[in-house]
Structure 1
Amino acid sequence: MIEDERQQHAHLDALMRAYDEALATHDIDGVLLYSGQPARHFGDDQHASFVAFGHFVHWTGQAQLAHSWLLVRPGEPPTLYLYAPADVWHLPARLPDEPWVERFRVEAHATHEPPALPSGRFAVLGEVSDDIARDMGAKANPPGLVASLNELRVRKSDYEVSCLRDANHRAMAGHLAAREAFDDGGAEFDIQLAYLRGVRQRESELPYPTIVGLNAHGGVLHYQHCDLVAPAARRSLLLDAGARYRGYCADITRTWSGRDSVAEFTPLVDGVTALQHGLIAQLAPGVSYVDLHRHMHEGLAVLLVEQGLVNASTEAVLESGLTRAFCPHGLGHLLGVQVHDVAGHVDATGRRRPPPAEHPTLRLTRELEAGMVVTMEPGLYIIPMLLEAHRHRPEVNWDRVDQLADHGGIRIEDNVLVTAAGPDNLTHQEP
């Protein structure tokens, strides 16, 4: 507990210094961070699930605190304008018993109105219109300041790493519970409920909708349903599920064979897992993440040839673009208070680094730095709509590929801290 408090105070101290520098650089006297508000469904009185603005969460760890504002000025304690009205319909917002609360000025308010700003040059960040900011005497989301504050979130403090590690620990408890439900023959819905019990969080508290893909559904990259009835054959489960701790996210994926999987499937799962471990071992400051993504495709080419899915040289497989049909997504992304965290395509100098033309979905194109936390998630899928363009290729063993189609796909994903001493895998490795 003492170490946790020390880390949290150090995190706040560093954040205050960094904000002071950023505000001075952009000639701004202070910044007001708006947590945001849940969107109301059209023609209804119900709201969608809500997640607070990332920069607000960076200070407070409160990912579900709506209609609240945080004023940050050099030389002053941050002021939190907490939306906490007297309400017979809802429980008012409550702040945790944590060190950051003691260091903030906290003012409870009962309306959605933004606070009055003192005289000076101020910026307002978050989901705030130019008109509202102008009425407040401030600028809304000035790009230069936003870019500077995004960059502050790229390298994690010791406190942030501890939060991410805890989020991973919680998420892995959910994964193990979900695997038991899969082994017991549960439907996707049963597996989802088991995950929620294991992780001890509501669906609305998770950092993203859980992907529970049985059999062919594992080949839909962001599969969004949960079947209520278990399939007659239990061939595979792809589970992509995370957790939050103090606003910080875990993003973990596992793939398991079922009792009805074909013999060829498990070696592919093992091969993708080994490929992932090898890629993680290469994580170090100065390494290009784009190069790591290309290494993933090189490893997939080797795996496709070794497992008899393609009868060609690995060079020919890469040249043909087949690996992109078997894995259309990027190797991973930055992770923090957002799952797909900010600044993945812009380096510390502000230079934009777009993904390569042949890999347009890659979310991280920077060179790695100590303190970054990244996901590492190679995959191999049987996606008919992508493979159809290659049906004319005789080197593909289509009988074997088609036999695997009702197994969906494979993705293995861990969350890893980059350090000068080597990669630090924050994801608890299950037995």
Structure 2
Amino acid sequence: MTPALATFHLKHLDALENAYQRVLDEHGYSGVLLYSGHARQHFGDDQTASFATYGHFLHWVPLPGIEHGWLLIRPGQPPLLHWYAPQDFWHLTPELPDEPWVERFRIESVTEPGPPRLPSGRFAVLGDVEADVATALGAECNPEALTIALDELRVRKSDYEVACLREANAQAWAGHRAAREAFDAGAAELDIQLAYLAASRQRESAVPYQNIVGVNHHAGVLHYQHYDIQPVRKRYSLLVDAGHRHHGYCADITRTWAGCDASDTFGALIDGVTRLQRRLIASLGPGQSFVALHERMHWELGHLLASQELVSCSADAAVAQGITYAFCPHGLGHLLGIQVHDVAGRRRADGTPLPPPAGYPALRLTRELVSGMVLTVEPGCYVIPMLLAPLREGAVGRDIDWDAVEALAPHGGIRIEDNVLITTEGHDDLTPAV
């Protein structure tokens, strides 16, 4: 941690201590015990799946990947970190870093996993914890009201969190540049992925989500999950949706590039989606409805489809008839932080649910924007046969140029995604400029 970031982190801890005291008092708790979690073994095996540390634990302790850690928060007392450091010659024993934040915690180092004993009072245990563990401690397990209140504390990012997100974006962007260079050189999807990991300086198990590296028609699979090992004969397109973690905070960036064999229409659509995204970002600020912004994205996408003569109807008609939804079925964006799809995006500040509109079930952020939020802005345009087929069969199909759509199908699709901080005066794009 740099000295500047360490200073930000100490101020972040000050704010957390005050906020937790307020929330615990409001909900009548003497304290809360946060469990970092641990990796789970595959069935019938001694190997474990990839592991992500519990978000509320990471909100305090900047150590992603730490297992069997327990953090006890009690108002008016230093937080107690129950630190699991086993005597082990099979694996490297974890060590606490030499950083200022460690001095703010009372550390109890243990060689066996398990929670600390709790004093008398009303306590809650949060995290991936079995109910019988909480019962044995005399505590409540993941009470919903308390969890929702603590989720809300993660909506507005501190200076420390913003600095971590900015650095995560810088590291991820280095990976995106390398991925494009590999694609232009004729690399296969797996080679592009490896170039990304090398340039962004991370191992595959440490990325915040499985990187999406889609060449040609694979770019039209929204969460494409494979990496072909053979290069393609024709390079129409590359879509890379990939991030990075810095002290547990996630970048989530997507770019789409036209290959040497791409059509002129596809290149124009990339330019159009990019300009659309820049206009949406330019309008961001506190007090704005993200649902309204999502609806504006669909209207602008209708105009873009019409401008490229993919549809012959108006933008309003393209939205009303479900054409734009078929070309972009995902939401415009989501909150971002310790989790890629961060908590509290579909609730008001008081915890009241805010479900997505019926027409846009995949929208993950439905609340009004406030300063301190960090969110993604990621419009897209895809050729997805299973969504377009019903339109072809109905009356709306007359408004779509199916020959033009089919010519685009080998290109897959387009998504352009930045990570943006909402400020008191507007916004700050954390993703490096192209």
TM value normalised by structure 2: 0.98
- Find out whether 1:410 has 2:414 as its counterpart: yes
- Find out whether 1:81 has 2:85 as its counterpart: no
SS in 1 for 2:399: coil
Q: Which amino acid aligns with 1:283?
A: L
Q: Which amino acid aligns with 1:178?
A: A
Q: CA deviation at 1:98?
A: 2.3
Q: What residue is the counterpart of 1:45 in the other structure?
A: 46
Q: Which amino acid aligns with 1:324?
A: Y
Distance 1:422 1:116 in 2: 47
Q: What residue is the counterpart of 1:196 in the other structure?
A: 197
Q: Please list the CA deviations of residues 349-375 of structure 1 after superposition, one character each: whole Å capped at 9, or x if unmatched.
A: 221100000000000000000000000
Q: What residue is the counterpart of 1:421 in the other structure?
A: 425
Q: Which amino acid aligns with 2:73?
A: V
Distance 1:131 1:277 in 2: 50
Distance 1:109 1:152 in 2: 30
Q: CA deviation at 1:95?
A: 2.2
Q: CA deviation at 1:3?
A: 2.8
RMSD value over aligned CA atoms? 0.8
Q: What residue is the counterpart of 2:238 in the other structure?
A: 237
Q: Which amino acid aligns with 1:358?
A: G
Q: What residue is the counterpart of 1:218 in the other structure?
A: 219
Q: CA deviation at 1:82?
A: 1.2
Q: CA deviation at 1:15?
A: 0.3
Distance 1:61 1:309 in 2: 48
Q: What residue is the counterpart of 2:12 in the other structure?
A: 11
Q: What residue is the counterpart of 2:299 in the other structure?
A: 298
Q: How does 1:372-391 map to 2 (within 5 A)?
A: 372-391=373-392
SS in 2 for 1:33: strand
Q: Which amino acid aligns with 2:148?
A: A
Q: CA deviation at 1:100?
A: 1.5
Distance 1:94 1:219 in 2: 44
Q: What residue is the counterpart of 1:129 in the other structure?
A: 130
Q: Please list the CA deviations of residues 183-215 of structure 1 after superposition, one character each: whole Å capped at 9, or x if unmatched.
A: 100000000000001100011111000000000
Distance 2:8 2:204 in 1: 29
Q: CA deviation at 1:115?
A: 1.2
Q: CA deviation at 1:119?
A: 1.4
Distance 1:372 1:264 in 2: 36
Q: What residue is the counterpart of 1:279 in the other structure?
A: 280
Distance 1:210 1:141 in 2: 31
Q: How does 1:97-112 map to 2 (within 5 A)?
A: 97-112=98-113
Structure 1: 4+ residue segments shifted above 4 A: none
Segments of structure 1 that go 5 or more residues without pairing to the other structure are none
Q: Which amino acid aligns with 1:416?
A: V
Distance 2:273 2:228 in 1: 27
Q: What residue is the counterpart of 2:332 in the other structure?
A: 331
Distance 1:308 1:95 in 2: 60
Distance 1:271 1:72 in 2: 50
Q: Please list the CA deviations of residues 114-144 of structure 1 after superposition, one character each: whole Å capped at 9, or x if unmatched.
A: 1111111111000112221011011111111
Q: CA deviation at 1:63?
A: 1.8
Distance 1:111 1:326 in 2: 53
Q: How does 1:246-325 map to 2 (within 5 A)?
A: 246-325=247-326
Q: Which amino acid aligns with 2:46?
A: D
Q: Percent identity?
A: 59
Distance 1:93 1:3 in 2: 25
SS in 1 for 2:32: strand
Q: Please list the CA deviations of residues 25-68 of structure 1 after superposition, one character each: whole Å capped at 9, or x if unmatched.
A: 11111110000111110111100000010000110122200111
Q: Which amino acid aligns with 1:422?
A: G
Distance 2:293 2:163 in 1: 26
Distance 2:228 2:203 in 1: 19
SS in 1 for 2:192: helix
Distance 1:24 1:60 in 2: 22
Distance 2:203 2:109 in 1: 26
Distance 1:30 1:300 in 2: 49
Distance 2:34 2:208 in 1: 21
SS in 2 for 1:394: helix
Q: Which amino acid aligns with 1:32?
A: L
Distance 1:132 1:414 in 2: 41
Q: CA deviation at 1:97?
A: 2.6
Distance 1:205 1:314 in 2: 42
Q: Which amino acid aligns with 1:180?
A: E
Q: Which amino acid aligns with 1:423?
A: H
Q: What residue is the counterpart of 2:400 in the other structure?
A: 396
Distance 1:97 1:429 in 2: 34
Segments of structure 2 that go 5 or more residues without pairing to the other structure are none
Q: CA deviation at 1:228?
A: 0.3
Quick check: 313-322 or 404-413, which moved more?
313-322
SS in 1 for 2:20: helix
Q: CA deviation at 1:112?
A: 1.8
Distance 1:187 1:257 in 2: 15
Distance 2:418 2:315 in 1: 26
Q: CA deviation at 1:281?
A: 1.0
Distance 1:32 1:238 in 2: 41
Q: Which amino acid aligns with 1:179?
A: R
Q: CA deviation at 1:99?
A: 2.0
